[in-house]
């Protein structure tokens, strides 16, 4: 059975992986830059193990890829399938968030 590039395939890495994908939507970044970006712009602190667990899973699923470079830290880039997955994730959650806001208002 092959793993499909869908948010469901991310399993329990769903949340951190989505944060990584969202961070990479604005451009390629290396691990530390992703960590800082998620912390500063999204308000989530990703542990180093969680971050690299999510990166490894995303590479395996073909949602991101490493850019070859001479630097020690490889920048990662989101792929089309990653963009698709993050869009689907947001499409799924947007109506739920909207409903929640409406009910709590």
Partner 1 sequence: MKWSKLYPTDWQREFGQEFDDLLAQRPMSMRDRWDVVVHAFEARLSRLTTAWPTLLAWTVVATLNVFAKEDQWAAGGLVLLCCLLTTLTPRDWWKSAILLFSAIPISSLYFYQLPHIHHEPLYKTAVALIPPRLSDQFSGC
CB nearer partner 1, residue 56 or residue 98: 56
Measure the CA–CA gap between 85 and 8, rounded to whole angstroms.
9
CB-count exposure of residue 27 (10 Å: 0-12, 13-18, 19+): exposed
Closest listed residue to residue 36, CA positions, set 45, 28, 25: 45
**Rule CB under 8 A: is residue 43 a binding residue for partner 1?**
no
Which one of residues 42, 56, 90, 98 is an interface residue with partner 1 (CB under 8 A)? 56
Which one of residues 9, 14, 15, 52 is an interface residue with partner 1 (CB under 8 A)? 52
> Which spans of this chain sit near partner 1 (rule: CB under 8 A)?
1-2, 30-32, 35, 47-50, 52-53, 55-56, 72-74
């Amino acid at each position: 059975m092959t793993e499909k590039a869908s948010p469901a395939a991310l399993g329990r890495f769903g949340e951190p992986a989505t944060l990584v994908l969202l961070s990479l939507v604005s451009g390629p970044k290396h691990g530390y830059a992703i960590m800082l970006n998620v912390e500063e712009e999204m308000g989530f602190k990703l542990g180093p193990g969680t971050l690299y667990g999510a990166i490894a899973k995303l590479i395996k699923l073909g949602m991101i890829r490493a850019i070859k470079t001479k630097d020690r830290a490889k920048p990662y880039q989101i792929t089309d399938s990653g963009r698709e997955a993050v869009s689907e994730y947001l499409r799924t959650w947007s109506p739920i968030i909207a409903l929640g806001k409406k009910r709590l208002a």
